[in-house]
Amino acid sequence: MEGQIRQSLSGFYDVFSDGQLYRTRARGNFRKKRVTPLVGDRVEFESSTPKEGYILKILPRDNALTRPPVANIDQGVVVTAVKAPDFSTNLLDRQLIALEVSHIAPVIYLTKTDLIDDQRYQEFETLAAGYRQIGYPVILSREPFAAAGLDQLRDLLADQETVIMGQTGAGKSTLLNHISPDLTLATGEISTALNRGRHTTRKVSLMPVAGGLVADTPGFSSYDTLTIDYRELGQYFPEFLALASQCRFRGCVHVNEPGCAVKAALEAGDVLQSRYDNYLQLLTLLKNQKPVYNKKK
């Protein structure tokens, strides 16, 4: 039979097939090959009863993320608090790049707008306009979880497989509860003593929400190191990629080269300064990154 893994928990995989969930385990040869089934994987499996079965084969993946561990995702909603935890364009851009590298369409949803004053909110309106200009859908409203924004997100979720990602405390579970109140997901609070969130989401699962499937995943505040070559980084900034063909030199990395269309657009105010600054920081990190070698056990 063929189906899709909808949940993983303690070595068990719940596979959905023809309207039925089957509790399965992975065959031993997956461990030998160091292959781990992921939520979202399309698989071939055998099962004598809905409570007992084995995954035989993982079908080719469109994409996969390691944090969160999901596969075959269409889009990622990056839930970002404007305050508590403090907003960072650097973290937001890292999240967007992680999605771009995996060929997952990003959506930005800004939360906790009730914690900032009107002047600060206007700054976020300007920033949101800049990201929309790049091509990213951005959902931002003066009142938290306003109906118009929730309706926009429901439309984006329909017929898609979506991952909800962002820092612990940004409001991912609260957002999903507003979108689909019957989920009643556990919500957490920021631990001010440690200045880090408490993990309230324990398992990875794909849930039917708003006519699509949504992965609600544990919060995290950092991302795995990017393994791309620094010369490829500009490909994952859509506004840089659109301008690259106008640069004087092929392979321009948009730093010191003369005739750089990206730097010209930056000077003209057509590229966000924060995006370019974050690009330079990431470029430096990637240049200085030491190669990682897999240690043999």
How far is 174 from 285, CA to CA, in rounded Å? 34
Enumerate residues 6+ apart whose C-beta is below 8 A from 66.
224
Q: Provide the 8-state DSSP code for 282.
A: H
Which residues fall in the annotated binding site for GTP?
Answer: 111-114, 166-174
The DSSP call for residue 39 is: B
Q: Which residues fall in the annotated binding site?
A: 111-114, 166-174, 247, 252, 254, 260
Q: How big is the chain by its Cα radius of gyration, in Å?
A: 21
Bridge partners (DSSP) of residue 7 are 14, 205
List, as residue ranges, the binding site for Zn(2+): 247, 252, 254, 260
Q: What angle do CA 183, 219, 217 make, to 5 degrees?
A: 45
Task: Report yes or no: 261 and 237 within 8 Å, Cβ to Cβ.
Answer: no
Given the DSSP bridges, would you call strands 42-49 and 138-139 parallel, antiparallel or unpaired?
Answer: unpaired
60 cis-preceded (ω within 30 degrees of 0) = no
Partnered with residue 110 across adjacent β-strands are 80
On whether the CB atoms of residues 243 and 262 are closer than 8 A, the answer is yes
Backbone φ/ψ region at 193: left (φ over 0), alpha (ψ -120 to 50), beta: alpha
CA angle 212, 215, 220 (to 5 degrees): 150
